[in-house]
Structure 1
Amino acid sequence: MNWDYWGWWILGLLLIVVEIFAPSSFFLWLGVAALAVGGIAFVLPSLIWPIEIALFAALSIIALLIGRRLFRPQRQTSDRPTLNKRGDQYLGRQFTLEAPIVNGVGWLHIGDSRWRVIGTDTPAGAQVTVTGVEGASLVVRPSKSEPQSSEHLI
């Protein structure tokens, strides 16, 4: 069985096309390795197919490692890390309860939103501090000190 260089080039181009439809940056590097094996087979036409397969395997691993290292996603720091995490925006802030927390569950109005709150039973009008977020609920505890950033609710 003799697979000429053009077979490797076709395989390389097909793998790159697969990468276009399944973007994962995995098939791209396999395609690059196949194109490289095709280039080596063009220069050295006497290569036998087991060596070509071994070259493809080795070059695939090398291309994957180099590609992952060169094109790793860049982490960008944001000046507003809680922009799309509404509950996290309220961590540490104090609010006045409009209605009491009964059996560990209550409701709190913040701005134009109504939030479900979880915490110890607390009477209406008490100051609470947001200490965490559980799903779509704010975890609160009664405040001990005067509010620094309070919001009185209607």
Structure 2
Amino acid sequence: MDVLISALEGLNLWWWLGIAAVLLIAELLTGTTYILWPAAAAFVTALISSFVGWPLELAIFAGLGVLFLIFGDRFVKPRLKAGADSGLNMRATYLLGERVTVVSGFTEGRGRVRHGDTEWSAKTEDGSDLAAGSSAVVAALDGTRLIVKA
């Protein structure tokens, strides 16, 4: 028991920053945001560790960890998830409503179109065939295939 108490009495700014760093690395590996909040609590505890003793440091760490987890999960996490619908890394979503040029004639409603310097697999909305060189408008997406209309 004396070993544990002497270890706890040795807690200082650098120990708390080390704990925060380890927790942040664990957060980076998991990506869940649940480990982020105890890491933030450890960082804040590091800032005040020079002014209080170890029992109060542990209480502050535990209290802030719970508070940060509750408020972070309630207010921050929904905003992070809202950014997932931004269209980032989904280049095809920006093509909706854009004009494309038919590269090769459509057969059975399927063919290839060009937008800028990229060719896309495409099919027509109504299954009609388009002639090479004609233009069409992107109406929807089906995975990586564009659905176009004349």
Q: TM-score, normalised by structure 1?
A: 0.53
Structure 2 unaligned runs (5+)?
29-35
Identity of aligned pairs, percent?
22
Cα 1:93–1:33 shift into 2, 3 Å: closer
Match of 2:53 among 41, 45, 50: 41
Match of 2:142 among 130, 134, 146: 134
Measured against aligned partners, the alpha-carbon deviations of 1:66-116 in whole angstroms (never above 9, x if no partner) come to 78879x87x99xxxx878654334321334434332234211133433221
1:13 aligned partner: 17
1:151 aligned partner: none
2:128 aligned partner: 121
Whole-angstrom distance in 2 between the partners of 1:58 and 1:110: 55
2:99 and 2:137 in contact (8 A); partners too: yes
Cα 1:17–1:87 shift into 2, 3 Å: closer
- Letter aligned with residue 147 of structure 2: V
From the two aligned structures, give the one with the greater helix fraction. 2
Whole-angstrom distance in 1 between the partners of 2:57 and 2:44: 11
Whole-angstrom distance in 2 between the partners of 1:132 and 1:100: 20
Please report the RMSD computed on the Cα atoms of aligned residues, expressed in angstroms.
4.2
1:1-154 equivalence runs, <5 A: 1=1, 3-4=5-6, 5-9=8-12, 11-19=15-23, 21-22=25-26, 24=28, 25-32=36-43, 35=46, 36=48, 39-41=51-53, 56-64=61-69, 85-119=90-124, 120-125=127-132, 126-142=134-150
Whole-angstrom distance in 2 between the partners of 1:6 and 1:34: 14
1:108 and 1:114 in contact (8 A); partners too: yes
Whole-angstrom distance in 2 between the partners of 1:82 and 1:30: 33
